[in-house]
Amino acid sequence: MGALSFAAPWLLVALAALPALYWLLRVTPPTPRRQSFPPARFLRELPAVEETPARTPWWLLLLRLLAAALIVLGLARPVWNAALRDSEDSPLLVVVDDGWASASDWPDRMAAAGAALDAASRAGRRVALLATAPGVTGDAPRPTGWMPAEEARSRLAALRPHPWTPDRPAALAALESWRNEDFASLYVTDGLAHGEDGGSALMRALAAVGPLQVARGTPGGARVLLPPWAEADRLMLGLRRAPGGPAGEAAVLALTPDGRALGRAVLPLPAGATEAEAALELPVEIRNSITQLALEGDVPGASGVVLLDERFRRRPVGLLAAQEASDTPLTGALYYLDRALSPTAEIRRGTLEQLLSRRLAVLVLADRPLAEGAETEAVTRFVEGGGLLLRFAGPRLAEKGDSLLPVPLRAGERALGSALSWERPQTLASFPEGSPFAGLTPPAEVTVSTQVLAEPVPRLAERSWARLSDGTPLVTFENRGAGRIVLFHVTANADWSNLPLSGLYIDMLRRIVALSSGVAGSEGEAPLAPLETLDGFGRLGAPPPAAGPILAAQLDATQPGPRHPPGWYGTPGEGAERRALNLSAHLPALRAAAPAPSGARETRIGGVPAERDLGPWLLAAALLLLAADLLLSLQSRGLGMRTRAAAVALALLLPGAAWAQGSAQGSAQENAQEGAAALATRLAYVVTGDTQTDEVSRQGLVGLSEYVNRRTAAGLAEPVALRPGRDDLSFYPLLYWVVLPDAPAPDPAAAEALNTFMRNGGIIVFDTRNEGSGEGVSLGADAALRRLTRNLQVPPLAPVAEDHVLKRAFYLLPDLPGRYAGGPVWVARDTDRANDSVSPVIIGGHDWASAWAVDARGNNPYAVMPGGTRQRTLAYRFGVNLVIYALTGNYKGDQVHVPAILERLGN
């Protein structure tokens, strides 16, 4: 329900004068009589009796009283849905949490704070602002000075969420040292406890000074995307959110450096759940090209973005065998291992000491027992520290085992002809559920003739990833510390089995290596400079002024903040390795903030209704009632038609004056628009009549104009909306026209204006926007397009050729995508030499405006499909080519004079 308040309530006292006004209005003068000259006759016929005035009819009296009441109410400035005021006189302090958790619903938070500033402005109250997160320069939070609400509104609009945690204790300390008088306060909190007290100390301090209102977001609004962990051929994704959230789901996109989405996973969120998990199943080769995981949506925030560096891709694998001739073709212990792993992993060779002196993801021992003492201790430290030890059996391991095996082994080996012999070689059984090999199909021709047997220990089946057809384990594992030990019960070469000769061997090894934790190349005390950092909305950009380098050895322990914001760190230069500092890796479990203290008023932000000033409407209604009263009074007094006509004109004076003023302003605006168009280059779009479509066109041309101004020497002003046939088109080089299914055909005046526009060199871009539906642009079947162009002088068309100027006017482009990619773009055939072969029309269905669109916050509100950021960049580049083509024509396609120019230059 809306709330009604008055900006000037003291004027309501005038309503008490309505009874007195009643006695004044109830008297009506007598109707005048029309008499003829001469004066003597006039005087003779005058009645001698004294007449009393007639009484005013009750309905006319009621009309006048209502008009007077409306005037009083209108002057009292009633406001619908106005923000509630705590005090008329005390100043207002607006406290805003601007840390990472506020990004998801930042517009709603600004709307709540802006409504409070509007109320303070009407009441003439002074305002101060306090943001609780440290600034980009590293300064601690501190309040601003007292200022008028109008000035505070611009300060509030400049606030942005930061990609680090707010510092409420520092804000409290600044508040205690700054307070010099009593004030009311509004605390727009992010709803999370970023410390031990959950913000209660700050709220208690605010409530102790004066009235406090606490505005919170919706429960469960803040979400944190955790760094993934590997399981076989998939990445496991984790998500946290604040307590109390409703049921829903979260989608995560796997993105490449150019913004293309290679995968998508959906994490279900039951009502009240604070954590969720899902698997992102991608082959290793594709996974290695991913550099970012991001929550799907317009504003993922810094907590919803995870950057993936070499630790998620780089898998150094150390190979070590017992014998020296381990690389002998076909028979060497490491021959098949090297060829199976080298395409997807970094292979290292050397002694055990040399391999462990550098960071490894996987250590492979092929029939290589470990000596008791230093060797066993070194490998144990490697495994317990997070490494993966992959071992293969053989005669040496069968003769003498060691302590770093997943299961105890029986002495000797099981082979054909032995005491535990098989009648024939054994095949592989299907891989069990939960095994990293699940989903792979063992070929029937893969057999095992010799193996080492595991002792029958408890839970042996649970520690077996692969078995033979008779049930004996083939691959066993054990988790030890932070790492894992895996044993193949056969040799790494083809001595005991033909498994190394099959493609299954490659798939099994790659899945095991994918289970390991990757390592980063930058180690030690090398400083890593900030290259690109995330802002509060989760967008990569230039580092802030206070950002500094981090020592490589301290990167994992560094808490993100103004000095070290989340993002990419490394050494500048082409091909240099980059390390990722992720905000979500350093955030604890999310807890709800402390409740508001006793006496404070608590509200929910989101969907703040717009305030509406009812005063002008009430005054306008009062004027209309007074005009009606004038007409009725003249009618009751018997005045003639001429007088009543004058009264009608008087009654319509105000609306007519307003209409005339609006017309004059409209004419002046049109003249100003034409003058501005003559003085500046602008793009234009055709008004379709659909509000949303026209707004997308406007936002698209605004975004394109800004991009063109940044990237080229062209200077484009604000785009304009045009109506062909009513507005002059001659000032504009390019018209963007969205073709709606129900669009009517242009009238004759509009068609003539458009034909003249095209004859004089103008270009019309028709966008059918149906490429995303899979229909594509069909020049013969698209009824709306055919209807729009029926009376236009459109030349014969053909798809854009590979060497067309549109593809090389500024950027060299293979395609011309928009929000959607694919499908042809149609232009005039090259054989049409009118206007120097510049096509007067360009037709496509790619929804270019949505790809170019920029909203009031500078964001791109519409997702592009399927290419992500890279596709949007290409769409902008096509827009640049389009503008250059419209401004300069076909100059890049004209090669006629090139030989003469080269000859004149002496070449």
Indicate whether 742 and 643 sit together in one domain.
no
Q: What percent of the chain has pLDDT over 90?
A: 29
Give the model confidence (pLDDT) of 11-27 as tens digits. Answer: 667 767 767 666 666 65
**CATH number for the domain harbouring residue 177:** 3.40.50.410
Q: Which domain CATH number covers 356?
A: 3.40.50
Q: Is the pLDDT of residue 202 over 60?
A: yes
**Where does the pLDDT of residue 606 fall: very low under 50, low under 70, confident under 90, or very high at 90 and above?**
low
pLDDT at position 823: 80
Same domain, yes or no, for 827 and 689?
yes
CATH of the domain at 713: 3.40.50.12140
Residue 668 belongs to some domain of the structure:
no
- Whose tokens are 């462990």? That residue is 356
Residue recorded with tokens 């929000």 = 819
| pLDDT of amino acid 54 | 57
Q: Are residues 758 and 797 in the same domain?
A: yes
Q: What is the band of 761 on the pLDDT scale with cuts at 50, 70, 90?
A: confident
Nearest to 76 by CA among 20, 126, 122: 122
pLDDT tens column, 445-472: 999 999 998 888 888 888 999 999 988 9
Say how far residue 727 (Cα) sits from the centre of its chain: 37
pLDDT, position 901: 61
pLDDT at residue 38 greater than cutoff 90: no
Count of domains forming the chain: 5
Confidence of residue 658 (pLDDT cuts 50, 70, 90): very low
Exposure string (b/e) for 268-301, b if CB count within 10 Å is 16 or more?
A: ebeeebbebebebebebeebbebbbbbbeeebbb
Q: 3-state secondary structure string, 37-58? A: CCHHHHHHCCCCCCCCCEECCH
Structural domain harbouring 275: 220-314+525-591
600 in the same domain as 587: no
- Residue 333, domain member (yes or no): no
pLDDT tens profile 253-278 = 998 887 788 888 999 999 888 899 99
Residue 780 belongs to a domain: yes
Residues 411 and 509 in one domain: yes
Last residue of a domain, one of 481, 514, 547: 514
Q: How many residues does the chain have?
A: 907
pLDDT band (50, 70, 90) for residue 377: very high
Say yes or no: 302 and 288 in one domain: yes
**Average pLDDT score over the chain:** 81
Residues 181 and 240 in one domain: no
| pLDDT (0 to 100) of residue 657 | 45
Task: Give the model's pLDDT for residue 86.
Answer: 46
Strand-pair category, 578-581 with 567-570: antiparallel
Tokens linked to 509: 């090894």
Q: Are residues 107 and 15 in the same domain?
A: no
Question: pLDDT tens digits, residue range 857-892?
Answer: 677 888 777 777 788 899 999 999 999 998 887 665
Instruction: Compute the average pLDDT of residues 105-127.
Output: 86
Query: Which DSSP letter does residue 649 get?
Result: H
467 and 421, same domain (yes or no): yes
Q: Torsion-angle region of residue 837: left (phi > 0), alpha (psi -120 to 50) or beta? A: left
Query: Based on the domain organization, do 453 and 563 belong to the same domain?
Result: no
- What is the DSSP secondary-structure string of 250-297? EEEEEE-TTS-EEEEEEEEE-TT--EEEEEEE--HHHHTT--EEEESS
pLDDT at 474: 94
Is residue 211 located within the same domain as residue 233?
no
Does residue 848 carry a pLDDT above 80?
yes
**Could you tell me if 535 and 473 lie in one domain?**
no
Which pLDDT belongs to residue 164?
A: 93
- Identity at 399, one-letter amino acid code: E
> Is the pLDDT confidence value at 814 over 70?
yes
Residue 320 confidence (pLDDT): 92
Instruction: Please tell me the predicted confidence (pLDDT) of residue 87.
Output: 46
Taking 90 as the threshold, does the pLDDT of residue 37 lie above it? Answer: no
Q: Evaluate whether residue 332 is within a structural domain.
A: no
**Residue ending a domain, choose from 448, 480, 514:** 514
Task: Examine residue 101 and state whether it is found in any structural domain, yes or no.
Answer: yes
The answer to whether the CB of 605 falls within 8 A of the CB of 216 is yes
Mean pLDDT across 654-679:
47
Examine residue 330 and state whether it is found in any structural domain, yes or no: no
Listed residue (57, 323, 90, 338) closest to 211, CA to CA: 90
Q: Does residue 516 carry a pLDDT above 70?
A: yes
| 670 located within any domain | no
Q: Is the pLDDT at 835 greater than 90, yes or no? A: no
Q: Is the pLDDT of residue 487 over 90?
A: yes
Residue 597 resides in a domain: yes
pLDDT of residue 23: 65
What pLDDT was estimated at residue 600? 87
